[in-house]
Amino acid sequence: MTKHEEKTVEPRVAAIGDTSRLSPELRRAFDPAGDYEPMPDPGPSDWLANHPEKPQSYADWLNKDTNVPGPQRRIIYLLPIGEFPPSAPSLPALTKIVHAFFTLEVKVLPAVAVKDVPAKTRINPSTKKRQLLAPDVLRWLTKRVPDDAFALQAVTMEDLYPEPSWNFVFGMASLSERVGVQSFARQDPAFFGDAREAGWQNVALRRATWTMVHEISHMFGLTHCVYWKCVVAGSNHQAEADSRPLHPCPVCLRKLHAAIGFDPAAREEELAKVLRDVGIDDEAAWSEHRATWIRTGQPSENSKP
């Protein structure tokens, strides 16, 4: 590569880092190859217009002292807080998705009652519904991380807020303490008094998946992605979250790969199966297509999303 060409590499491609010494499969795994959309310029209410983020390239992440799973500490635990109606996003489905996404064992802990979680609450002025202060929940979670846990992600039907000046938050995680919490409350149209249209539970599962893999990715020291439309990018509102895919971009995938050490093609194949199984078909097709590309360097005939 000449000096001139080096200068014209897009920052989002440069952030992936040098892959020239990797195996052909790994090189393809981190090659965007037309399968990822660049992060669009934010609209006025979008995340990046309101929360400017310091970009974190793969090299930046490597230089940080981050938590990675070790032989004694590699289980992802999900902790239900409070009761869940039968219509809530399915924990068994989320368990399978998170297992396929991170390739780590996932276990669900016995549920804890909301009253046993020492978190400040308030009544949200616009919804008139109770909310828990998420940082209080995170602080409580740090004392409950099992010895063999890499990560502890709490899930609840209670609505959450991150600080008094904010309206709500879908979820929140600590980048250093390996804990996170997310709410399913806003994934039910009934929360807003709206009608539950056909297929709403599938949408709710997709949204719960987005928040769950997003928060758990933070626990590997990944900060919000600014490079591509990516599951690790920040999101200010539901429409913005819905416009994002459920998969990580090549920059974020490379960080997770370095932290966990999976086979990227096998990971996409397993993820595709699980996503088909739970009815998230567009992402399943994307993973099938991507697995074929990583294995063969040829785009697949049928599964192009």
How far apart (Å, rounded) are the C-alpha atoms in residues 25 and 290? 11
Residues involved in catalysis: 215
- Given 39, 100, 230, 280, the residue binding Zn ion (CB under 5 A): 230
What's the closest the beta carbon of residue 244 comes to Zn ion, in angstroms?
10
For 222-271, list the strands marked E by DSSP.
none
**Which of 266, 134, 155, 168 has the alpha carbon at shortest distance from 216?**
155
What's the closest the beta carbon of residue 195 comes to Zn ion, in angstroms?
30
How far apart (Å, rounded) are the C-alpha atoms in residues 275 and 263? 18
The answer to whether residue 172 forms part of the interface with Zn ion (CB under 5 A) is no
Please give the size of the binding site for Zn ion, defined by CB under 5 A: 6
The answer to whether residue 213 forms part of the interface with Zn ion (CB under 5 A) is no
Residue with tokens 């799973």: 69
The answer to whether residue 219 forms part of the interface with Zn ion (CB under 5 A) is no
The answer to whether residue 232 forms part of the interface with Zn ion (CB under 5 A) is yes
The answer to whether residue 253 forms part of the interface with Zn ion (CB under 5 A) is no
- Given 246, 249, 271, 280, the residue binding Zn ion (CB under 5 A): 249
**Which of 245, 247, 239, 246 has the alpha carbon at shortest distance from 47?**
239
Binding segment for Zn ion among 109-117, 176-184, 217-225, 291-299 (CB under 5 A)? 217-225
- Given 154, 225, 226, 265, the residue binding Zn ion (CB under 5 A): 225
Residue with tokens 């399978």: 96
State the virtual CA torsion across 110, 92, 207, 15 in degrees, nearest 10: 90
Contacts with Zn ion by CB under 5 A lie at: 225, 230, 232, 249, 251-252
